Structures are given as C-alpha cells and as structure tokens.
Amino acid sequence: MPFVSRNFTLSSPMPAYLFVMQTLNINQAQAQRFIHKGCMEINGQALTKTGERICGEITLRVFEPEKRPYDMFAPLVDDDDILVFEKPSGILVHPNTRIAPFSMLDVVRWYGGKDANIVHRIDKETSGLLVASKHKKAEIELKNSFQDRKVFKRYYAWVDGEIKDSFSVSEPLSKNDSFESLKHKALLDPLGKPSHTDFKPIYYDPMIDATLLECIPLTGRMHQIRVHLFHVKHPILGDPLYATSFKISNEYLDGRLSQEKRKLFTGASRLMLHAEKIEFLYGEKRFSIESKINFDKMKYLISSQRILEK
C-alpha cells in the first residue's frame, strides 16, 4: 500500500506544522495541508490543528511508492523537469484513500523522486498519455497551463453506431450531487460550467457497428467527452456509468460486474477512450507527444452484440 505509518517520539513540545516540516523536509504550506488531511496522529488521536503544540507518540501517514517492477511503465519523456507516461486502462491516477491500491503516483514518484507529481487527471478507465512534473516549479507551471487551457489534447474513442460527419457539442456540465437514482458523476446543466468538445469520425466498422472518433476537448470538465457523446446518443463503448442502467452501474461500482455481463450491457470490456496526443509549452521548449498504442487495433475488445440505453 502506498500510505505507510511512520512513528516518532517527541519529548519537547513544538508546533505540529513545524515538526512535520522538519521531519518530512517540506515547506509550511505543504505541512499544513498534510495535517488538514488527517495524516497526523498524536498519542493515537488524529490532529487537524496545524499550530497546536505537540509532544509524545506521533504517527505520520506518508505516501511511499509501492516497490514493484516498473519496466512496463517506462516514461515516453524523461527530462530534468517533465515526465510523460502511457497509463493503462484500469489504474488510478491518484490513490483515493489512505489505504489505497497501486496508482500511477507510485510510478511517477519511482521515476521522478519524492517531489514529482501528476499535473492533470484522466479517468481510471481511460488509457493514454499522462503528464507529471519532477519538481514544484514545473508542477505549478504545468498545472497553470492546463487550467488556462493552453494544452492541446486529442483523444480517440470507439463509440456506438455510425457517425459520418464532424460535429461539436457545447453543453454546460455540472457535478452530480445525488446518486440515489443515477450513477452519472457529471450531468448536462444549463447553469453548469461551459464545456466544448469537437468530434471527427475516423472510420466506421460495420462488423461491430462502431465508429472510431477523434475527440478534442477545448475545456477540461469531469467526464466531458463521455457525457457529450452520451448526449448525442453515441456513447463510448465499455462505459459502465453512462448509457447503461442504474443496476449495471451499481454492480460495476461495487466490483460485482462480470466481464461477460459488462460486454453485453456496455459493449466492451473496458472504457474505449484513449488519450492519444498532448501538446504544451514549458519554458521555451514545446512538447508534442503521441501515444505509442495503436488504439484502432483495440477494437477486439468490443462486442457486436450489446444492450445500451441511448
């Protein structure tokens, strides 16, 4: 597990944030965030007040990369500032709990060191290019580039049905706050955040009744491509949250959905969405990286017999 407990004994009182700064060799803001997240215990009790003076038995829950062979994750780009990886489908970008499974952050820290960090997110089930920084300066600059929409991203998606012409979707999106009747994490909402995606068909395969689409998001909302394609009734094949029933979505989220049932009700054994190209400027250097994965050939994962809710 990437989060481990490190135990200390402090005999002389000192501010909690200062102890964390000195022990983990991080700055004050990082130490305060660490404490606010509940990663520090004093004599067995969680502490969240960063300025409280502490002493006694102290436990810090810290992230340490899981030790395992990483040859399959060798970065496509590895320079003094930046790492770029091919993320497989099914692997988390960040650990989502303190007791968490392996994630891409393990890989990033393994190759880039303790200060390396992922600068954007792609869904667990999406495969493809993932960018990370090696130090704080690069992290701040790259995150700002993503936030300011200065990064070009191109995705490929296998979608249900035939699409003949290019089109765009500009439907605002908001996060779903209630999952009692719908497991969608994002929804079309006229009061939501502006969202725009351009789509271009590459080719249609009548044997599986599916189109390979080029998807270019001009904004970066949660599940943007997935929701926009569901909206135009050409959902991404293999999507376990959209274009399927509440029951199937629930089984997927509970880890009870078999591969056979998933292929029948979603059309594929994984989400057929791939981050294929990314372009950005860092300092005076321009990066233009394309995935080495031939996503076209991954259509073997698609079932020609499926039950979708369009």
Segments forming the whole domain that contains residue 185: 152-301
pLDDT single digits (tens) 225-273: 999 999 999 999 999 988 788 888 888 878 888 888 998 999 999 999 9
Together in a domain, 170 and 40: no
Residues 175 and 54 in one domain: no
Listing DSSP states for 121-187 in one string gives ---TT-EEEEEEESSHHHHHHHHHHHHTT--EEEEEEEEES---S-EEE---EEE----SS---SEE
Residue 308 covered by a domain = no
pLDDT given for residue 293 in this prediction: 93
Statement to judge: residues 138 and 157 lie in one domain:
no
Residue 197 forms part of a structural domain: yes
Q: How far is CA 75 from CA 122, 139, 154, in A?
A: 17, 17, 19
pLDDT > 70? residue 13: yes
Please state the pTM of the whole predicted model.
0.78
CA dist 279 and 151 (Å) reads 6
pLDDT per residue as tens digits for the range 251-264 = 887 888 888 899 89
Instruction: Find out whether 199 and 168 touch, Cβ atoms under 8 Å.
Output: yes
Boundary (domain end) residue, out of 14, 43, 63: 63
Question: 56 — alpha (psi -120 to 50), left (phi > 0) or beta?
Answer: left
**pLDDT tens digits, one per residue of 33-83:** 888 888 888 888 888 788 888 888 888 888 766 656 567 788 999 999 999
The answer as to whether 258 is a domain residue is: yes
Number of domains in the chain: 3
* Residue 123 appears among annotated catalytic residues: yes
Clarify whether residues 140 and 178 are in a common domain: no
User: In the structure encoding, which two tokens stand for residue 7, read together?
Assistant: 């135990």
Position 112 scores a pLDDT of 92
Which residue is catalytic, options 106, 123, 160, 239? 123
Range from 2-11, 127-136, 239-248, 295-304 carrying the lowest mean pLDDT: 2-11
Yes or no: say if 195 and 270 are a contact pair by the CB < 8 Å rule: no
Which CATH number goes with the domain that contains 103? 3.30.2350.10
Q: What percent of the chain has pLDDT over 90?
A: 51
What's the confidence (pLDDT) of residue 1?
A: 46
Tell me which of 147, 172, 207 is where a domain ends: 147
pLDDT recorded at residue 84: 97
